[in-house]
Amino acid sequence: MVWLRIRRTLLALPKWQLAVLVMFFGWIFLTFFGPYIAPFPTEVAEPTTRLLPPSGTYPFGTDENGIDILSRVLAAPRTDVVIGVVATAISVLLGAPLGVIVALYESRGGAGSTAFAETFMRVLEVIQSFPVFVFAMVLVAVFGGSVTNIIIAIAFVNTPVFVRIVRSDVLSLVQRPFAEAARAVGNREVRIGFRHVLPNALPTVIVQVSVTVGFAILLTAGLSFVGAGVKPPTPELGAMIASGAKFLEIGQWWAAFFPGIALGLIVFSFGIFGEIMTQVMEPRAVRRETDRRREHALETGGDEPEVPDAPTVTVSRMREPVLTVEHLGVAAVDSRQPLLSEIHLALEAGHSMGIVGESGWGKSVLVKSLLQLLPPELAVTSGSVRYLDHDLLTMSKGSMRAMRTTQIAAILPNAKSQLNPLTNVGDMLRSALQAHEKIRAKDAEVRSIELLEMVGIVDPAQRLSAFPHELSGGMAQRVCLAMALMYHPKLLIADEPTAGLDVTIQRQVLDLTRTLAEEAGTARLIITGDLGIAAHYCDTVAVMQAGRIVEINETERLFDAPRHPYTRHLLDCVRV
């Protein structure tokens, strides 16, 4: 799996990054073999060849001791890179486990663990508050400027960084569903920490490692530059730059220039290497592949000839439709992969239509394209979306904005993640009201309380100051519902309105939605993976497969006499 990802990442890399990768391995090579391939001795002064400009014999010139600069640059990674890598490795190996342990202990709760965690963090803060550079300088001055001491100093100042990063990552990760799941299955806390949570914190750690290695190399060079690091004659870039800097102003530029370039390139290639590693670590990098699978499915799935995929809804009693979608197609912008094609829909005023299908067949893309909220990577390629007699696709952003909520309202999946974590319920409602009418904050508050009452929230005045993380999923969904229905819109588009809610709450929320919408005469388009919801709450149901609508019919007819094999397949799944 990892190898696959590495290969995929490498293939997807831009050319220049590949070049940097090659350079990175070049530096690694020099770290191992640099001193052996240097054409001249690197530590023996040669007074006769002092400060010679670059020439055929000495491509980078010679330094103040008459030593070939090229040879010293080739030999220097042995010092700089080893110090950076070893020091970073030590700080990760010390810091990461410590961070996990602290976080696990902390997340157990209780007064003892909070007190411990707080004290621990404050002590860590003390260590971190010593300016890294000066602290390393003092450490080196105390223990002497040997390579080992520099490594110890740099590892010491970097360890707290990893403790902090891992701790805060683990703290947020242990709350996530997968850790809960691992706990529910009966894993022990420590095991969860190291087996389930730490790997998820790994991307952050690896990014930090790449930053830290580069930083440690810079620190080494900086220390040597001010004379508190590696001492001459050991080939070390910072010290070389320092000794060359004296001659810079009189025009003898090469002595500081080439080591400087080398230092910059080393740090640069380590940084890019880190970025490439991040891409490798990020499982989302695999996503393009799944998209391709979808495209493939779209080609084969859509070509099934058994049933013509023309909509078969009985339109005899159709009055003026609220929403009309014709020939709608959506594709990815850069790869031109079609995600939706030939979507036809018509939704009558006050009616409700369900769109069902397994996840991954483009239901949410359809919602986003109807709402004009497609991410920039996706674009409508054909067809039209009409609301009453407005063409939504050609409408200006401003007029579309004015129609949102007032005429076309949206409910999007997982209400808790739809609410900005730093905006409380009251502000959210007030800004939604103020976006569409001139209303004073005081009046908006009164209205907000009424709205929360309408959706059955107990103690609405209190809830105004609640932040999303303080709400339950059902409560957040009700807040979203209140916002969706505050202007009695003609059309409500609800994407998985019950995702993440437990079954009793699902029923409550859906019943409430139906009641309120029917009172207001709002037409509903409900996108769901749950056939039961569609059967219970929708007048018509459309079945989506592979980015197409394969069957559309009145609910009862569709369930009694499914025509398309995919519909039958879906129904079979439920009935088993």
Reduced to 3 states, what is the DSSP secondary structure of residue 576?
A: coil
Report d(CA 371, CA 400) in Å as an integer.
9
Residue 527's nearest CA partner among 499, 555, 501, 548 is: 499
Binding mask 158-197 for another protein (x = CB under 8 A): ------xx-xx-----------------------------
Tokens found for residue 47: 């007074």
Binding to another protein, residues 257-276 (CB under 8 A): 257, 260, 263-265, 267-268, 271-272
> Which residue, 303 or 377, is less far from another protein as judged by CB?
377
Count of CB atoms situated within 10 Å of the CB of 51: 16
Beta carbon of residue 306, minimum distance to another protein (angstroms, whole number): 37
Beta carbon of residue 443, minimum distance to another protein (angstroms, whole number): 18
> Which residue, 37 or 127, is less far from another protein as judged by CB?
127
Beta carbon of residue 457, minimum distance to another protein (angstroms, whole number): 18
Helix, strand, coil percentages (3-state) for the chain, rounded to 5, are 60, 10, 30
Report d(CA 118, CA 563) in Å as an integer.
64
Q: Using the rule CB under 8 A, which residue among 72, 351, 404, 490 binds another protein?
A: 404
Report d(CA 66, CA 447) in Å as an integer.
83
Beta carbon of residue 569, minimum distance to another protein (angstroms, whole number): 31
> Which residue, 284 or 319, is less far from another protein as judged by CB?
284
Q: Is 278 in the site for another protein (CB under 8 A)?
A: no
Give, rounded to a whole angstrom, the gap between the first and last alpha carbons of the chain: 34
> Which residue, 135 or 559, is less far from another protein as judged by CB?
135
> Which residue, 39 or 144, is less far from another protein as judged by CB?
144
> Which residue, 48 or 129, is less far from another protein as judged by CB?
129
Rama region for 547: left / alpha / beta (φ>0; ψ in -120 to 50; rest): left
Q: Is 483 in the site for another protein (CB under 8 A)?
A: yes
Report d(CA 290, CA 283) in Å as an integer.
12
Please tell me whether the peptide bond between 468 and the residue prior to it is cis, using omega within 30 degrees of 0. Answer: no
Beta carbon of residue 436, minimum distance to another protein (angstroms, whole number): 6
**Which value, in Å, is the radius of gyration of the alpha carbons in the chain?**
32
Binding to another protein, residues 212-231 (CB under 8 A): 214, 218, 221-222, 225-228
Q: Is 283 in the site for another protein (CB under 8 A)?
A: no
> Which residue, 241 or 355, is less far from another protein as judged by CB?
241
Q: Is 33 in the site for another protein (CB under 8 A)?
A: no
Q: Is 250 in the site for another protein (CB under 8 A)?
A: yes
> Which residue, 267 or 276, is less far from another protein as judged by CB?
267
Report d(CA 345, CA 542) in Å as an integer.
9
Tokens found for residue 369: 């394209």
Count of CB atoms situated within 10 Å of the CB of 328: 22
Q: Using the rule CB under 8 A, which residue among 469, 515, 518, 519 binds another protein?
A: 469
Binding mask 364-393 for another protein (x = CB under 8 A): ----x--x-x-xx-----------------
Beta carbon of residue 424, minimum distance to another protein (angstroms, whole number): 7
Q: Is 471 in the site for another protein (CB under 8 A)?
A: no
Site residue total, another protein (CB under 8 A): 82
Binding to another protein, residues 73-132 (CB under 8 A): 106, 114, 117-118, 121-123, 125-126, 128-132
The residues, any chain, with a CB within 8 Å of residue 226's CB and separated by 6 or more, are 137, 242
Q: Is 566 within 8 Å of 307 (Cβ atoms)?
A: no
CA angle 496, 542, 371 (to 5 degrees): 50
Beta carbon of residue 219, minimum distance to another protein (angstroms, whole number): 9
Burial grade of 310 (CB within 10 A; 0-12, 13-18, 19 or more): exposed
Count of CB atoms situated within 10 Å of the CB of 256: 20
Q: Is 14 in the site for another protein (CB under 8 A)?
A: no
Binding to another protein, residues 417-436 (CB under 8 A): 417-424, 431-432, 435-436
DSSP β-bridge partners for residue 491: 408, 523
Beta carbon of residue 44, minimum distance to another protein (angstroms, whole number): 27
